[in-house]
Amino acid sequence: MSDKVDLLGQYIGQVLIPRLNRADELFEKGKYFEAVNKQKSIIRALYREISKSEEKSNGEKILLNWIEKIDSLYEFSPKVKGETNEITQYNLKMHRNNLAQKIYENLDWEIWGKLHELGYFAGKRMYGPKVEDIDMEKAVEI
């Protein structure tokens, strides 16, 4: 493994993965909007700072697409206190949270796919649980 990849690996392992874990924690708590904002910094780092080669222009396009999606959530932010009633503020927040959940899930695939592309998984054990350890009580009929 070259020094460059090692440095990249270190950056991902020490900076990005803890951020990802933090985003995951927020998501698990239902704080989708906060989780998405955490993801925003990760995807930005992945595409802007790391991808400096020939992929850059395509990466920029994908990055901008995601950033726009995340930023569009702010349109649904509750207004300054007193400007709208509490019910409207609550509805806005719930709507924003629902949108954020969808973005989070999609972006999660994007981030892990990108990490894979960068070879981060080579020789690492960043694996999910065994099939038999997955809680099937929450399974639903499709």
Partner 1 sequence: MQIIGSRLRTDLPTIRVRWLRGYDKVDWSKALIFLALGKKGSGKSALLENIGLRYPRIVDLFGSRDDEGLSWCRDISPIDDVLLIHGDNVDVNCSWDTCKIGELTYDKMMQYEVSIPSYSFFTSDLSRFVGISQIMKLFWDRKEWKSPVYVTVREASSFIYSRIKQDNMNMKNAKADFIFWQREMRHFGYALGIDTIRWTSIDKEMRDLADYQIIKKVGGQGLPDDISFLYKYIDPMSMARLRPDKFLIFIAITAE
Binding site for partner 1 (CB under 8 A): 62, 65-66, 102, 105-106, 108-110, 112-113, 115-116, 121, 126-132, 134-136, 138-142
Across the strands, what pairs with 81?
A: 84
Task: Tell me whether residue 1 or residue 77 sits nearer to partner 1 (CB atom).
Answer: 1
Task: Tell me whether residue 1 or residue 134 sits nearer to partner 1 (CB atom).
Answer: 134
Q: How far is the CB of 40 from partner 1 (least distance, A)?
A: 14
Task: Tell me whether residue 37 or residue 63 sits nearer to partner 1 (CB atom).
Answer: 63
Q: How far is the CB of 112 from partner 1 (least distance, A)?
A: 4
Task: Tell me whether residue 50 or residue 84 sits nearer to partner 1 (CB atom).
Answer: 50
Question: Following DSSP, what letter does each residue of 76-106 receive, concatenated?
Answer: GSPPSBTTB-HHHHHHHHHHHHHHHHHHHHH
Closest CA to 80 of 92, 97, 65, 71: 92
Q: How far is the CB of 91 from partner 1 (least distance, A)?
A: 22
Q: How far is the CB of 10 from partner 1 (least distance, A)?
A: 20
Return the residue matching tokens 């990055």.
Answer: 63
- Judged by DSSP in three states, 81 sits in strand
Phi, psi of 81 (to 5 degrees): -55, 135
